[in-house]
Amino acid sequence: GQQLNQSPQSMFIQEGEDVSMNCTSSSIFNTWLWYKQDPGEGPVLLIALYKAGELTSNGRLTAQFGITRKDSFLNISASIPSDVGIYFCAGPFTSGTYKYIFGTGTRLKVLA
Amino acid sequence: NAGVTQTPKFRILKIGQSMTLQCAQDMNHNYMYWYRQDPGMGLKLIYYSVGAGITDKGEVPNGYNVSRSTTEDFPLRLELAAPSQTSVYFCASRDGGNTGELFFGEGSRLTVL
């Protein structure tokens, strides 16, 4: 079935460092969404991407919609302790549907 | 502004018992979703609905049932609970526009013993 694979699975970084993570699919996506989940809570949307090649920022976060439409990237600059959490990519299972699936997640830990 | 409300927040079931997880949204969203998240894992889509009276299976529908009699409510029914259904269940909703943003509830933690 359709899968969204994220890498790395987990990261331990020092406060102030930049972070990069990515999400890949075996099929083309027309929408890429990046969510963050804090412990014990539901995911919250960070950035949404709708066009191949699109680069969008939200504060210290920047995400890109890959040219092939099969991948997306999320970067966090100058990490801070509250960046700790799980980051998920998500998108519609097939084009034109609203059956949204989520990636496997990247667990981020920031060391002060 | 309540958003998406899930009840109960925690529940322990015995094997073979049944229960319903409730989900309600007050944003007049057409689309609603149920996901499960196993410990240390991502979210798996169980069922979703594109409007009242319409439901469809997600990635992992076995052992669950849903109904959508109103726009606001999307209950998830577990029949004959099994230990494999121990998980955190999240309900989400979104409107019919193209933004793609899913709004999530706080989750329902279910343990089957």
Give per-residue pLDDT as tens, A18-54: 999 999 998 888 889 999 999 888 999 999 999 999 9
Give per-residue pLDDT as tens, B11-35: 999 999 999 999 999 999 999 999 9
Residue-by-residue DSSP string for B44-65: EEEEEEEETTEEEE-S--TTEE
Mean pLDDT of chain A: 91
Contacts of B23 in chain A (CB under 8 A): none
Q: Is pLDDT of A95 > 60?
A: no
Give per-residue pLDDT as tens, B35-58: 999 988 889 999 999 999 999 999
Task: Say what the pLDDT of residue A86 is.
Answer: 96
Contacts of A88 in chain B (CB under 8 A): 42-43
Cα distance between residue B56 and residue A98, in whole Å? 11
Q: Do B33 and A100 touch (CB under 8 A)?
A: yes
Residues of A near B (Cβ–Cβ under 8 Å) read 1, 31, 33, 35, 40-45, 48, 50, 88, 90-93, 98-105
By Cβ distance, the residue of A44, A48, A101 closest to B100 is A48
Under the banding of pLDDT at 50, 70 and 90, the label for residue B1 is low
Task: Say what the pLDDT of residue B30 is.
Answer: 92
Q: Is pLDDT of A72 > 60?
A: yes
Q: Is pLDDT of B97 > 80?
A: no
Contacts of A48 in chain B (CB under 8 A): 99-101
Q: Is pLDDT of B99 > 80?
A: no
Q: Which of B38, B43, B56 to probe the A interface (max A CBs under 10 A)?
A: B43
Task: Say what the pLDDT of residue A43 is.
Answer: 93
Closest CA to A5 of A55, A70, A83: A70
Q: Is pLDDT of A94 > 90?
A: no
Contacts of B107 in chain A (CB under 8 A): 40-42
Q: Which runs of consecutive H residues, i.e. helices, occur in chain A?
A: none
Q: Do B102 and A33 touch (CB under 8 A)?
A: yes
Cα distance between residue A26 and residue A23, in whole Å? 11
Encoded tokens for B55 = 């439901």
Q: Is pLDDT of A96 > 60?
A: no
Q: Is pLDDT of A98 > 90?
A: no
Cα distance between residue A98 and residue A40, in whole Å? 26
Cα distance between residue A41 and residue A72, in whole Å? 24
By Cβ distance, the residue of A42, A43, A100 closest to B45 is A100
- Least confident range from A58-72, A90-104, B18-32, B87-101: namely A90-104
Task: Say what the pLDDT of residue A28 is.
Answer: 87
Q: Is pLDDT of A110 > 60?
A: yes
Q: Is pLDDT of A97 > 80?
A: no
